[in-house]
Amino acid sequence: MIEVSANGTAYERGKAQAGAASADKVRQATIARVERASAEGLIDTAAETYLAAQRQFHERHDPEGMAELSGVAAAFGLSEPDLFAHLHLGTLRDIKGGAVLLDGCSAWVVPSGPEGALVVKNRDTSGIAVGVQCVLRHSGPDILTGQVLSLGSLGSLAVWSSGINAAGLAVADTQVAVNRHRVGWLRYFLLPRLLARARTVAEAVAMIRSLPHAGGGTLVLADREGATAAVELSAAGPVITQGGVQWRTNHYTTPQTRAETLGPDGDKIAGNSHLRFDFLGRILPDQDWTVPKAKALMSTHPGSSTAPLCQHADGVNDAETISSVVYSCSVGGMEISDGTPCLGQWQRIKPCR
């Protein structure tokens, strides 16, 4: 697993990705997607207008995120506007009604157990991201919570997928294709700001409620004291469920948001989202979860009473589980499988401080 440590301004942390992988590999995983989207007509005049409005929003409300993005662009000699568009590809596909999930995922949290609160996620995405997947360890003057340790991809912002800070707050996301978007906080910018500013679930929830959201996606969160939450990031306003065991896959679940989910339209990740969600709902409650038990659960394959938490490319659809991660809020650490969790190739990452 690629690891990058950086202490400095947001721009310096983004630029610190230089040298961790070849620019060609990062280009294939990021900018090439933007070029394909343009060729397919996804980035048209309406999309450019929306992206311009999104840029204004994030420049006003998240200058640190925009500075980090500029540093990433400088690290690999890439176009910053193209990287900004790359962050929005899922949103732009939703607007066109595509309902194709570039990143899937199953994520859950438990508030307590022998090892305290845990945040767990399988990262399901195109295999093209395997070569640029990375662990980032960040600190800097705008990070108010000690170090932030996160799982993401080179060529993107920190906490592209999940992360934890030294205060013990951990968060993981899932993608949901939706039929409603607006100008607002894109979760790829929201995730790193949450871990940079919030020490508890209560503080994170207050931040989430403070601004409008672009729409699409969910979050699960837990902190060192055992507070938990799940958030469905609707453009109409976030719907937040707090306390106890929480889990999310790739569709909205609450009465307020359920109708916003776009249909799977043949997409493998979206198509088995309900199976994974229902399976987690049966298996998670009323158990004492430990890190080893969590790792074993995330290795689950489809069966008569199970669901494909651990997904493999099938020759038709290249979506697969490229990693699994377990965050321990009590120690601020993570264990990660570089590849499908069923392979058992787990490594423990030194906790953040």
pLDDT (tens digit per residue) in 112-134: 999 999 999 999 987 677 789 99
Tens of pLDDT, residue by residue over 215-244, are 999 999 999 999 999 999 999 999 999 999
CA distance 321 to 85: 24
Q: What is the mean pLDDT of residues 130-152?
A: 95
Tens of pLDDT, residue by residue over 154-184, are 999 999 999 999 999 999 999 999 999 999 9
Confidence of residue 30 (pLDDT cuts 50, 70, 90): confident
**Per-domain residue ranges for the chain?**
2-95, 106-349
Find the largest Cα–Cα distance for the chain: 54
Residue 345 has pLDDT above 60, yes or no: yes
Confidence of residue 3 (pLDDT cuts 50, 70, 90): very high
Confidence of residue 97 (pLDDT cuts 50, 70, 90): confident
Q: Is the dihedral of CA 169, 175, 179, 183 positive or negative?
A: positive
**Least confident range of 17-31, 94-108, 253-267, 278-292:** 94-108
Res 277: pLDDT? 96
Among the four given CATH numbers 3.40.630.10, 2.60.120.1360, 3.60.60.10, 3.40.50.970, the one describing domain 106-349: 3.60.60.10
**Least confident range of 35-39, 157-161, 256-260:** 35-39
Res 270: pLDDT? 61
pTM: 0.96
What's CA 66's distance to the chain center, in Å?
18
- The pairs formed by 43-48 with CB atoms below 8 angstroms and a separation of 24 or more are 43/85, 43/92, 46/95, 47/92, 47/95
Residue 334 has pLDDT above 90, yes or no: yes
Res 25: pLDDT? 86
Q: Which residues contact 217 (CB under 8 A, 6 or more apart)?
A: 173, 174, 175, 176, 187, 233
CA distance 29 to 74: 16
The H or E element that residue 269 is part of is: helix 268-271
Residue 100 has pLDDT above 60, yes or no: no
CA proximity to 175, closest of 282, 100, 250? 250
% the chain with pLDDT above 90: 81
What's CA 69's distance to the chain center, in Å?
16
φ/ψ of 112, rounded to 5, equals -160, 170
Confidence of residue 20 (pLDDT cuts 50, 70, 90): confident
